[in-house]
Chains A and B, each alone.
Chain A
Amino acid sequence: MMRITSLPSIGFLSLAISLAACAQSEPRIDYGKVECAHCRMNVVDPHFAAVLVTLKGRHYVFDDLACMVQYVADGTVAEDQVADWYICDHANPGRLCDATQAHYLSGAAFRSPMRGDMGAFCDPADRDKAMADGLRRLDWEAARTELLQ
């Protein structure tokens, strides 16, 4: 039989657990299980997936940057409610980074699930390595504008 002796330690433990539960967790994509919030397709490709985090801490997963941009443009989530935009690093499939700081390439060589056809790179060196004929360099704002056309 175990005996619980220290009441303060239990209090401390429960406080620690509840604090940990409150922390803003890093977004995680359950590939193959979750569906895109915009187009309903199952998210399977870690080269193109994206995540939107709202100020309230809600996560929306997308299979394509085009879906995320369109979703906010449609007003399903208002732009001023967005806390973070995450995009998968094309050079490191599955690694998420800040979409507003990412470096983009656009062109038919990128066949993304919903025809956004853009690759995002967290590291500019990776983007320059992937640069080829028929591709164009874009920053976040340019990428967004193009996807909304």
Chain B
Amino acid sequence: MRRARRIGTLTLLVFGPAFTVFAGIWRHASPTGLNALIQRANTGDTIVVEGTVTEGTIWIDRTITLLGGRAAVIDGGGEGDAVSITADDVVVRGFSIRGARHSNLDDMAGIKVNDCRGAVIASNTFEQCFFAIYLSGADDATVQSNTVHGSVAEPDRMANGIHLWKCARARIAGNRVHHQRDGIYLEFVTDSRILGNHTWSNERYGLHFMFSHRDSYEGNRFEGNGAGVAVMFSKEIEMIRNEFRSNLGGSAYGLLLKEINDAHIHGNMFDGNTVGMLLDGCNRASIVDNDLRGNGWAVKLFANSTATVFERNTFSGNTFDMTTNGDLVLTTLRGNYWDRYRGYDLDRDGRGDVPYRPLSIFALVAERMPYAMVLARSLMVNLLDQGERIVPTFTPAALLDGSPLMKPPHG
């Protein structure tokens, strides 16, 4: 075989069930013949690919490792998926992948993983694939350090960057996704972790949860996505130390929470969004130690949200700290820092002695009449707000912070 040479044999000792596995290493450097080589490979073999492969879809139906060597490119030729994985514990690492078909009816992807366990997709670059990485029924998968370049010219023609459907225990870490539809999309995904990813300029959401439970996302950055980040119809999601920045537009939110139960939202930064956080039908959310600054609306809290707790958050430089759409607000505000607070602290315990009401009357007016916004920061509006602060009549009486902090809790 000229094209594919068996260049080494590796002996691996696998402990646990003590047996010996012989794994081969193959080298492939030709535009065609990779599928044929995979068919000859044994379980546990490694294939190192160099140069461009242009034979349409690469089918991986056995447990092998596919490593990208020098200038390794897999070009699907626009016919279907570029790579299709249907075996357990497959590794695909170090490729540039392109040429997945854009399709109305089929979900074609740069790498598609179907109904198998333990796939590892790492350190690949995707160029204008329809979906870049598509995991369907794939448990225990790892998607790490990939870069997904969508279409800057036509982002509306793209599908999601990293797409998971009915997966459990996935780990999505250190990926970068831009100019796709949703950067990272999870539907029916459980017990998974999303760590340290960066998504920006995606058409819809940087990260999007649907019907997904017991997941966590931590240390991610979401910037300038069409509509920010959405967590919808999900339970027990942890959102920790993420950054939500510059999500601007009439229907854009730093973080949109819709029908969410038992969320933990801790230590996040919301900076420069039209709406920092919107809570619609959110029950028992704990919102602690977050930093909301420079947003149009820091928090929009719909009255259908119950038992939400805001504690030790910093509100500064927002046009509106909080708005709501109803009178009955079942929310606890406790020990937050509000830069608009004008109270005093005579007993010097670091907490203001008079409560702070974050809901200004103008925020209520603007909620019902958006066009009233032209009057923002005018003298009349300021007088109205001051009057309402002194004698609250229109704003919900229960929505107040009884122990506002005198200084921001985190420097």
- Seen from chain A, the residues whose Cβ lies within 8 Å of a Cβ on chain B are 31-35, 39-42, 44-45, 47, 90, 93, 109-111, 130
Contacts and interface: CB of A to CB of B under 8 A. Distances in A.
B105 A42 contact: no
Contacts of A34: 250-251
Contact of B181 (A33, A44, A47, A111): A44
Contacts of A41: 204, 230, 232
A42 B226 contact: yes
B256 A31 contact: no
B104 A93 contact: yes
B280 interface: yes
A31 B156 CA distance: 8
A32 B203 contact: yes
Interface string B279-303: 0100000000000000000000000
A45 B226 CA distance: 14
A130 B105 contact: yes
B199 to A, nearest CB: 15
A40 B210 CA distance: 13
B270 interface: no
Contacts of A31: 156
A42 B232 CA distance: 12
Given A32-B226, A93-B104, A40 B280 contact: yes
Given A42-B227, A111-B107, A35 B251 contact: yes
B130 interface: no
Given A33-B250, A33-B251, A35-B251, A42 B205 contact: yes
B204 A44 contact: yes
Nearest to B211: A115
Contacts of B251: 33-35, 40, 42
A110 to B, nearest CB: 8
Nearest to A45: B181
B387 interface: no
B258 interface: yes
A77 to B, nearest CB: 18
A44 B156 contact: yes
Contact of B104 (A32, A39, A47): A47
10 contacts: A32-B203, A32-B204, A34-B250, A39-B258, A40-B251, A40-B256, A40-B258, A41-B230, A44-B181, A110-B105
B249 interface: yes
B interface, by DSSP: helix, strand, loop or mixed?
A: loop
Interface in B101-118: 104-105, 107
Q: Is the interface of A mostly helix, strand, loop or mixed?
A: loop
B115 to A, nearest CB: 14
Interface string B251-289: 100001010000000000000000000001000000000
A44 B232 CA distance: 17
B187 to A, nearest CB: 8
B201 to A, nearest CB: 12
Scoring B156, B204, B226, B256 by chain A CB atoms within 10 A of each residue's CB, the highest score goes to B204
A93 B251 CA distance: 22
Contacts of B249: 33
Contacts of B256: 40
A11 B163 CA distance: 58
Most chain A Cβ neighbours within 10 Å, of B105, B181, B250? B105
Contacts of A111: 107
A33 B252 CA distance: 8
B28 to A, nearest CB: 34
A35 B227 contact: yes
Nearest to A34: B251
Of A39, A47, A109, most buried by chain B (CB within 10 Å of CB) is A39
Contact of A39 (B156, B204, B227, B232): B232
B254 to A, nearest CB: 14
A93 B102 CA distance: 13
Given A34-B251, A44-B156, 6 more contacts: A32-B204, A33-B226, A39-B232, A42-B204, A47-B104, A110-B105
Nearest to A31: B156
A97 B379 CA distance: 50
B256 to A, nearest CB: 7
B59 to A, nearest CB: 21
Nearest to B165: A111
A39 B258 CA distance: 8
B251 to A, nearest CB: 4
Contacts of B204: 32, 41-42, 44
A47 B156 CA distance: 12
Contacts of A47: 104
Contacts of B280: 40
Nearest to B106: A109
- The 6 tightest CB contacts between A and B, nearest first, are A35-B251, A42-B227, A42-B204, A44-B204, A32-B226, A32-B203
Contacts of A33: 226, 249-251
